[in-house]
Every structure is written in C-alpha cells, then in structure tokens.
Structure 1
Amino acid sequence: MLNTASLSLDQAPPISIPFRFFLTAPLFGLVAGLLLLVYGPTLFLTRWAPMTLGLTHLITLGMLAMVMCGALLQMLPVLAGSPVPAVVMVGRLCHLLITVGAGLLVSSFITGSGIANALSLSLLGAGVFLFFIAVAVALLRVKQVTHTVTAMRLAVIAFLFTLVLGLLLGSGVLSKVGFGHIAPLVDVHLGWGVLGWIGLLLIGISYQVVPMFQVTPEYPMLMRRFLAPVLFMALVVWTLLMLAAIFSLIGDFIPTLWMFLVLPGFMLYAVVTLRLQQQRKRRIPDITMKFWRIGMFSILFSSAVWIIGNVSTVVANSPQYHLLLGVGLIAGAGVSVVNGMLYKIVPFLSWFHLQNRQLSLMCMTVQVPNMKEFISDKAARYQYNVYVASLFLLFAAVTKPEWFAHMAGLVFLLSNIMLFRNLVIAMSRYYTTNQALLSYAVDSDK
C-alpha cells in the first residue's frame, strides 16, 4: 500500500496544471515520430544536421522537460509543503511559452527561418526564466530541506544554465569562436540539460517515487545525502575545464579525464535503483518498474558507449558514436523513465485528489476509481511493448538507417499515440468522477 500520510494537497495546484504538461509531452513525441517517418535516414547522417537537432529538441524540450516541469509544479507543494507562488498563472503561462517556443525552435531548425529562431529563443527564454523564478522561490521557502529538495534545487539551477547556454548558441553570439569551439560548447549545453537538469531531477524524484510507487527499500542514506551535490559540483568543474580547453589553457584530454570521474556517479545511481527493484516487497509485475528498468540499463549502456568512444579513436570518429549516445540517453533513459513516471503519477494524482474531495464532502455514494482503473494494466502493457520495439528500431537505425529509420519513426509515433490515449482516458475518468462529486455537493446544499 502507498504511504500517503506525509503528503498534503492543501496548497497543491489544480490538477489541470500538471495535466496540461503531461498531455502535451506525447504530442511532441508524436511529432518526433512523424519527423522520423517522413525523413528517415537523413536524420541519422550526423548529429549536426538541422533536422537531427530539431528531432533532439522535440524529445528533450517537448517530452522530457515538459513532464519534469509539470511534475515539479505538483510535487513541490505535495512532497515539500512549499507551493509555487501564483501557480495557476505561472503554470499556464510557462506551458504556453515553452510549448510554442519549443515548436518554433524545431521549426527554425527544419526550415532555417531566422524569424522562427528569434521568436523561439524569446519565448523559451521567458518561459523557462519565469519557471525558474517561481520554482526557486518555492524551493527557498521549504522549511524542511530533504535530500529530494536539495536535488531539485540543483536541477533547477542546471535548467537555468542549460537555457542560458542554449540562448547564446541559438542567437549566434558565440559563432565568432568557430565550429571547433562551438562543438564543445554544444556538449556542455547537452551535458547540463541531460545530466544536470533531467539527471539530477530524476535522482531527486527517485528518492520519493521509487520507494513509494515500486514498494522498494529506501535509497542508502550516504547516496541521498551526497550524490546530487557531488554530481552538480563535478559538472561545474567539468564546465570550467571545457572552457579552459577551448581557450587552450589546458589540454583537450583533461575535461574527458574528469568526466571519467563523473559518469560513475550516474552509473552508481542506475545500479542501486536496479538493486532496489530486485528487493521490492511487491512481486507482481509492474509496467512502471519495467520502464524504469529500461531507463537504468540505458544509463549503463550509454556510459559504456561513452567510455569506449573515449578510449578508441576509431569509435570516437564514427558518426554513429554520438547518435548511439543520443538514442541511449534520450530515447532510452529519458523517454522510458518519463513513460514510467506518467503511468504512476497521473493515476496517483487523480485518485489522491478525488479521495481527498470525497472525504471532505463525506460522500460515499460516489465511488472513486482505484489507481489501476484509471489506466488498465493491459493498455499500459501494450504501449510498453510498442515503446520497446521503437527503441530497438532506433538503435538499429543508427547502423542501418536506410533499413530501419522509417520503421522506427512509425513505431515511435504509434507508441506516443497509445500513451496519449491512455492519459486521456485516465484524465477523462478523473473529470467524470469529479463532476459526480461536485453534483453531490450541489444536491446536498439544496
């Protein structure tokens, strides 16, 4: 059974705020699948191709960041007891700005439109900065600073770093330094986005949701206390070393050597999470756990690929090397964990909000669906199988794009259609039950 005694919805935002973020994510995934389906092999030529950059941002900004933003707006008041100020206005405005900004950014990559690029940077800058300010205020107001809160604080700072560097790269301000220097800066931008923002936030959220939803033991105390701060500081040092290498103050190999010290932290997180899942008290198969397991194995796989690429010049000079890393980290680790989170967070929030309303109204005539009834195991399992197939096809497309790229796009498209449908059904059941409870309240007042 879930332990909800320490959770509070007193200051939580209306459920429509996180729901809009969660529903938007698979729509961006759908567009990503459509892009793969139409353009296929051309997206696997090089990571620098404009369409490939567009595809990358469809998933990182449109899917991963979207879900993380929605989850953070909901979890801060529920888990940390600190509401985001003006959360309804902030949630609606940030969602609109980030959604339109991400769409325009992808459009600018594909079409080369300078107007779309300028508009996208303005909207994304405004949306992410507003999100940062609002969430930072909430995080600073937290009275009991847990390890999850610490990781959230560091992740939000990483999000700001990612934004600032992305704006500088996208605006062309840094173009004067030449491509040889731009490439390392893009790596820093990607590092702060994937390892900093998404990685640190995932680690912090895991401390709460893995034991709660997957019924596992707690993460080790030393890990909860030190992992996120150490990784954050390691990324800061890595960034300084990268800048020093760009200006020829140190050798290019030094930042790479330093990253050999950073990666084991993420590998440790993946191994410990897998170990905790083996020790779970509930032995019934669970789709969320399967999604997380793929995510953890993808982290280990991507780490191994990076290590091989940095000890073998043959692998490092292959165009497939960075593409394989991208598929492993973004489509493997990121998308799988986000899918797993949605299949627990959406039913849980729906059930928890409705249960609280039912108890406050003392209405036992309206039955609140249990978590399994919001999204059936069968529907989730079908989508999981399709997602796994799409991931294998994406890996295959890295080596044989002319054979597998179009098929990978079709299956990834189908996976996101199924995810969107499952989320819509869950939210529809929430609103139907909520309307019945509201009708009961009105009838009781008569």
Structure 2
Amino acid sequence: MLGASLSRWTMSYFAAALVCLIGAEALMAAGFGYPTVALAAPETLLLVHLTTIGWLSLLMTGALLQFVPVLVARPLQWPDLSAPALLLILAGLAALLSGFASMAGIISAPLEVLPVGGLLLMLGFGAVIATLGRTMWQARPLTLPTKFVVAGLAALTGTVALGETFALTISGLAGGEEVLSLWTHGVPLHALLGLGGWMTLSAMGVSYRLFAMFMLAPDAEGFSTRLVLYAGIAALLVVAAATPFAMVATAGLPAMLLVAGVSGLVALALYGRDIVALYRQRKRRVIELNAQAAIGGFAALGATVLLLVGLLVAGQLSSHIGALTYLFVFGWLTGLGLSKLYKIIAFMTWLECFAPVMGKRQTPRVQDLVDEPHAAPWFGAYYAAVGFGTLTLLVDLPIAFQLFVGVQLFATLAIVRHFYRTRGLLNVPLKLRGSTALPHLFRPKSIIRSPS
C-alpha cells in the first residue's frame, strides 16, 4: 500500500457528504419531515434525498474512487471525470431538493426542476460509473469484493433511472396509466435498489477488503462470501423483474417483493457470519477504534433484520416502515460510514504526508494521526441516540425523537471534529510531524502514483 495512488477528489466528496449529513440531522432535530409529517410528504422526500444522495451516495462514491484501484491493483482510469461528476451530482441534488421544497410550499420553483435535477444526477453518476467501470474492466478477472461493487453500480443505474421516471411523472412531463402506476407502486423498488443494492452491496464489497486490510485478516474469498454475492444479485434481479408488475399494478408485486426480501435477508445473514469470521481470524489482536465502532453498525444491521421480521409477523410493517428505514440508514449505513471514515481519512492523510519520506526520517504511524480515547465516547453516544430514536418512532413520540436526533447531531459534529483534527495533523507529536506541511483540508496537494 505504500505505492497506492491518492484519489485527488475523494476528500472533497467526503466533505460535501458530511455537510449533507449534518444538514439532514439538523432538519430532523428541528422537526422537519417525518414523523412530523407523512412519509410521502414533500418535506420527507427532501430529507430522504438529502440523506441518500447527499450523504450516503457521495460518501460511497468518494470511497470507491479511492479504493476500487486498491481492489483491482490498477490506477484509476479517466480520473479527470471525478471533479465534474461531483459538480453534476451536487447541482442535480440542489435542483431535486428545490423541487421538493417547492412542492412543500417553502420556495417558489417550477416542478420541471425535478427532472432537470434527475438528468444532472444521471450525468454525474454516469461519469462515476464510467471511470470505475473502465478501471474494473481493465482488471479482469475481477476479485470477489470487486464483483460486489459491480452489482452495486448496476443497482445505482436502476435507482437513478427510476428516480428520473418519478421526477418526470411528478412534474407532469410524463403520463399514461403505466407511468402513473409505476409512480404509485414502484417507490419500494426505487428504495430497495438504492439502499439495498447500490449502498449495501457496495458497502459489503469495500468492507470485505478494508476489514481484511486494516485488521490483518484473511481475504474473504470463500464459499459463504460467494453466496452473499449471489443472494444479493438474486434479490436485485427480482426487484428489477418486478418493475413491469408495478407498471400494471398486478397482484404479483407483493409476492415478488417478498422473494426479494427473503433473498436479501439470506445475503445479510451470511454477510454477518463472514464479518464475525474476519474479526476472529484477525492477526491484529488490539482492535482499533474504526473496527470497534463498526461493530455498532453491524449490530444495527442485525437489529434492523430482527425488527423487519418482527413487524412482518405482527403485520405492522407499513405502520413502522419509517422507524425501520431510520435504523437501517443511520444505524447501519451511516454508522459503518462514519467508523470507516475515521480510518480512511487518517490513512489517506498519512499516504499524502508521510509515505513519501518513509526511510528518510522518523515518521508517525497511521494510528498516531488519531486520538482514539477522546473519539470513542462520541461513537457510543451516536449509536445510543440512534437506538433510542428508533424506539421513539416505534412508540410514536415525535418530540422525544427530535431530542435524540439532537444528541445524534451533536455526536456527529464531535466525530467530524476528530476528522478535522486528523486531517490537520493536530494529534501528531511535533517531533514526528517535523517540517511536514499541512495538507489541504479537502484535496491532496500531490498524487502518489502506483509504481509501474
């Protein structure tokens, strides 16, 4: 890894993503969106897309731009697409949010901004898919973790396409019984492709490699890992096949969603088994904070599965889908994202600042860039807030939910402060920092090319 290339724009993706996360949590703490209003209300749609596109998608995209080259042991192809892709995604998100804000009566804007935003998002994510796709294409045959990323990018394509169709429908630029039926019955497909396909499968692929690399554990290339991939792809294929059923509102749609759900649960269960095996087989006996904090994310994923099963058995899934989604998004995906960012930012900063002088003078370890004793309590506070927030949604206590999201926001800000301190080398002893220049907060000063 000493010759690994730095993605020039990954830090910018991370910075924009964190701003969106903080904005989404602040809105929830202020009572904006669900549960103050309905799940289908424009305010909730604004909040959902700020979180899923602004936070999770930008986070995942930035991580993939840095780590797909690690997965395939090749430099990133067409790296100059990264900056315009970020600008297009941010512009598309701004247009989309403006459309939802207009629907909510917050601002006055034509509804045509919704499909314009969708088009910009298609162009931005299309550029990301192009650069990552070309990089992986040149590295065939692909490693198993890389195949998860391929499946995730395929799901991203379907998610964006469905989203643009919905935007055209809402704006009145597309009509017809089939299109209206897709809008009425296809939202679960859109959510499953995005949260379950794009974000979860991609997170699985990257986490398999990162956990093995950072904990010195064997690479996950076994039979169970292949079953995780196959079960996940099967769930995505069923969701894709359900689209025509949503367009004609036939009775077969619930059955297909059930099949996709069962296949997805199998994938999650096997994935959990693999992660436990990685922790047990690690050679690094002392678990660093990023791996400790990730346990909270995996616990939230397990709790999400148990809650889903419980709600299905009780016949109350539709009544508590908001609580389930909140736990999945902020417990599992966000918890894992924040915990891995804690290591990734330190790792990239070390590569930029100290890898070039290795062997020439004394340099700090990656761990010297972070302050685990002071950061650990904030991860605990974050997960506790999400857990109690989920309970308040289940028992319908919206004011209490706002209070716990306020705690969640405060913990997030404290964790982001630790990211800033890591990036600014504020935790590194002066004798180890030496004359090292401080890195740019959002973008590396130079690129370390992989040796040819």
Which consecutive aligned stretches of 4+ in structure 1 deviate over 4 angstroms post-superposition?
174-181, 430-434
| Contact 2:346 2:366 (8 Å CA) reproduced | yes
Find the counterpart in structure 2 of residue 334 from structure 1.
333
Find the counterpart in structure 1 of residue 160 from structure 2.
163
Find the counterpart in structure 1 of residue 342 from structure 2.
343
Find the counterpart in structure 2 of residue 206 from structure 1.
207
User: C-alpha distance in 2, partners of 1:339/1:293?
Assistant: 12
CA offsets, 1:209-245, max 9 Å, x none? Answer: 1122234444361123342244113311233135336
Find the counterpart in structure 2 of residue 425 from structure 1.
421
User: C-alpha distance in 2, partners of 1:210/1:154?
Assistant: 20
- Partner residue of 2:114 out of 106, 114, 117: 117
1:9-408 matches, cutoff 5 A: 9=4, 12-14=5-7, 16-40=8-32, 42-87=34-79, 89-112=80-103, 113=109, 114-172=111-169, 173=174, 176-177=177-178, 181-219=182-220, 221-241=222-242, 243-244=244-245, 246-247=247-248, 251-258=252-259, 259-313=261-315, 315-318=316-319, 321-359=320-358, 363-364=360-361, 367-398=362-393, 399-408=395-404
Per the TM alignment, residue 263 of structure 1 is displaced from its structure 2 partner at its CA by: 1.5
| Contact 1:25 1:63 (8 Å CA) reproduced | yes
User: C-alpha distance in 2, partners of 1:255/1:267?
Assistant: 20
| Contact 1:158 1:197 (8 Å CA) reproduced | yes
Per the TM alignment, residue 165 of structure 1 is displaced from its structure 2 partner at its CA by: 1.0
Equivalent residues, number: 421
| Contact 2:89 2:124 (8 Å CA) reproduced | yes
User: C-alpha distance in 1, partners of 2:69/2:221?
Assistant: 25
| Contact 2:369 2:425 (8 Å CA) reproduced | yes
Distance 1:171 1:392, change over 3 A: same
Find the counterpart in structure 2 of residue 442 from structure 1.
none
Per the TM alignment, residue 264 of structure 1 is displaced from its structure 2 partner at its CA by: 1.4
Per the TM alignment, residue 177 of structure 1 is displaced from its structure 2 partner at its CA by: 4.2
Per the TM alignment, residue 144 of structure 1 is displaced from its structure 2 partner at its CA by: 4.7
> Runs of 5+ in structure 1 lacking a partner?
438-446
| Contact 2:182 2:243 (8 Å CA) reproduced | no
Q: TM-score, normalised by structure 1?
A: 0.85
Q: Once superposed, what is the RMSD of the aligned Cα atoms? A: 2.8
CA offsets, 1:248-292, max 9 Å, x none? Answer: 555344214312233111122123313432454444353222332
Partner-residue secondary structure (3-state), 1:316? coil
Q: Which has the higher helix share?
A: 1
Distance 1:251 1:436, change over 3 A: closer
CA offsets, 1:169-227, max 9 Å, x none? Answer: 12213684487653431111111111111111112112211122234444361123342
Single out whichever of 177-186 and 268-277 deviates more from structure 2. Answer: 177-186
Single out whichever of 278-287 and 198-207 deviates more from structure 2. Answer: 278-287
| Contact 1:32 1:413 (8 Å CA) reproduced | no
Identity, in percent, stands at 21
Find the counterpart in structure 2 of residue 441 from structure 1.
none
> Runs of 5+ in structure 2 lacking a partner?
104-108, 440-452
Find the counterpart in structure 2 of residue 413 from structure 1.
409
| Contact 1:207 1:224 (8 Å CA) reproduced | no
Supply the AA of the counterpart residue of 2:408: F
| Contact 2:217 2:282 (8 Å CA) reproduced | yes
User: C-alpha distance in 2, partners of 1:139/1:195?
Assistant: 22
